[in-house]
């Protein structure tokens, strides 16, 4: 599961990330691995993850290479979740 957000350590993104983090064990039991992604720098991501005790790894995409391949969802400035399922492929849910 790829959780995309426009900017780490902002009110809306933090609220969504913490909510998703609280579901990490439930998602893992269902077979999902959760990752967050944004264009933020690694240090910013690491500080935010530590500060909020997020239960998933954060990925950096400063050139929007990954994000642009997924219909530019991050470029819209909104939070999005993409769930990649082995049998079904990619499922998209906007937050």
Cα-Cα-Cα-Cα dihedral sign, residues 56, 65, 80, 48: positive
pLDDT tens digits, one per residue of 49-78: 999 999 999 999 888 777 666 554 554 555
pTM of the model: 0.75
Cα-based distances in Å from 8 to 24, 32, 89, 91: 18, 22, 27, 23
User: Does 13 participate in catalysis according to the annotation?
Assistant: yes
| Catalytic annotation, pick one of 13, 67, 90, 95 | 13
pLDDT tens digits, one per residue of 6-50: 889 989 889 989 999 999 899 899 888 888 988 899 999 999 999
- Dig out the tokens for 14 from the structure: 């933090």
* C-alpha radius of gyration, the chain, whole number: 12
């Amino acid at each position: 599961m790829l959780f995309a957000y426009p900017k780490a350590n902002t009110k809306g993104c933090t609220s969504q990330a913490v909510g998703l983090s609280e579901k990490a064990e439930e998602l893992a039991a269902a077979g999902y691995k959760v990752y967050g992604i944004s264009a933020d720098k690694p240090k910013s991501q690491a500080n935010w993850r530590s500060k909020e005790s997020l239960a998933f790894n954060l990925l950096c995409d400063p050139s929007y290479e990954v994000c642009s391949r997924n219909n530019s969802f991050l470029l819209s400035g909104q939070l999005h979740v993409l769930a990649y399922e082995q049998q079904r492929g990619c499922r998209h849910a906007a937050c």
